[in-house]
Copies of this chain bind each other. A is one copy, B any other.
Amino acid sequence: MISINDQFDKIDEYFSPKVVGEVNDVYIKIAKIKGDKIPWHNHKSEDEMFYIIDGELLFEDAVEGKFVMRKGDMHIVRRGVDHKVSATSECRIMLVENKKTAHTGDVDSDITKSINQQLK
């Protein structure tokens, strides 16, 4: 058993997903988001689940538009759908992603992390 809050304490960088669990072919990840550095991107063959642990996340989704997610909200981005997220104050999120999902899709940006970096 692990405490997700303890895992958040180990994260000292925004936009840097951390793998906290492995369930079949998916990774459970957590990340702290603050600011607007994530580029528009999509994941061609994989859905991605966002769940808000704490704070507010501004979600921009090419299909569903622009909306604010709060603690306890969940959104699943379907494969191929362009999206980006940002936050004014620190927002803590949980992600469920296929193991092979690149977190900024094919877009290589300042904040892009390899899966090995996410596994640290």
Partner-B contacts on A (CB < 8 A): 1-5, 20-26, 28, 46-49, 51, 53, 59, 64, 67, 69, 72-76, 94, 96-98
Contacts and interface: CB of A to CB of B under 8 A. Distances in A.
Given A4-B51, A64-B1, A74 B26 contact: no
Taking chain A's interface residues, is the majority helix, strand, or loop, or is none over half, making it mixed?
strand
Contacts of A53: 72
Contacts of A75: 1-2
28 contacts: A1-B59, A1-B64, A1-B67, A1-B73, A1-B74, A2-B74, A2-B75, A3-B72, A3-B74, A4-B72, A4-B73, A4-B74, A5-B72, A20-B74, A21-B49, A21-B74, A21-B76, A23-B26, A23-B48, A23-B96, A24-B25, A24-B98, A25-B25, A25-B26, A26-B26, A28-B96, A53-B72, A96-B96
